[in-house]
Amino acid sequence: MVKDSIAILCRGNSLKFIDKIPDVDEDIIVNRFADELEQENVSNKLIGQNITQVLSLVPDEPTLMIQRGQYKKFKINKLVLPYVKETVPGSAQSIEGHDGKTIPSYVLGDTHKEFMYERGTRPDGNTRYAYSYPTSGIAGVVHGTIDYGKKNIFIIGLDFYQSEYAYGKAKGDLISRGEDPKMMRDFLTNFLSTQKDKNFTIVTSANYDCDFSNVNVIRVN
């Protein structure tokens, strides 16, 4: 167990190498995670852990997890919508958790605005929201870094759409909707440059480098 630690789990190919992530205090999973939680290596890592799910309001995002009983099997204690209050396009679905109670949901606090793109500044030209992150995965990384006060942060499955998902749905339609890999990489590097008091370990299948002394990038295939 690494003390003072949190892990952010995205869905890219590198998630297959989850055993490279040590035991941590708590975990964040990003968006629909039904197929991932069916995998023995992922399930074994997360069972019994305190988990937050960063969950966008794409229709049916949590449906499979509900149908498979994963909200009752795993300790998913809260849902975080990757929007600030001015931009949230709706409310989270009511989901019963492991304790039989509705899992509480939250939006991102105003402290996120200093890191988010303001409308008109996104490199991909998307102007839908007044404030936004490149993707839910990036939102999960920033949330896990600034809202928990942890010193040691582990990131896996964030592959910038340079490879297929580890399990389930492929990448192509996501890229076509505008999630630009270069925008994601540049945003992450810029964000990490503001967090020199924390230690980051990034396990990725992507062509990503970061030469900051507090960032360790582990390439996997």
Give residue 64's identity as a one-letter amino acid code. L
Domain with residue 47: its CATH number is: 3.90.1480
Give the pLDDT of residue 169. Answer: 65
Residue pLDDT, tens place only, 13-24: 999 999 999 999
Tokens 């996501």: give the residue: 174
Q: How many domains does the structure of the chain reveal?
A: 1
The neighbour count for residue 109, using CB atoms within 10 Å, is 12
Note the residue count of the chain: 221
Give all strands (DSSP E) within 69-173, no chain letters. Answer: 75-84, 105-108, 117-118, 131-132, 152-156
Would you report the helix, strand and coil content of the chain in percent, each value rounded to 5? 30, 25, 50
Residue pLDDT, tens place only, 172-212: 555 444 478 999 999 999 999 999 999 999 999 999 999 99
Give the residue numbers spanning the domain of 186: 5-219
Beta-strand pair 75-84/105-108: parallel
**For all residues of the chain together, what is the average pLDDT?**
95
Write the DSSP string, 172-201: HHHHHTT--HHHHHHHHHHHHTT-TTSEEE
Residue pLDDT, tens place only, 88-130: 999 999 999 999 999 999 999 999 999 999 999 999 999 999 9
Distance CA 117, CA 134 (A): 8
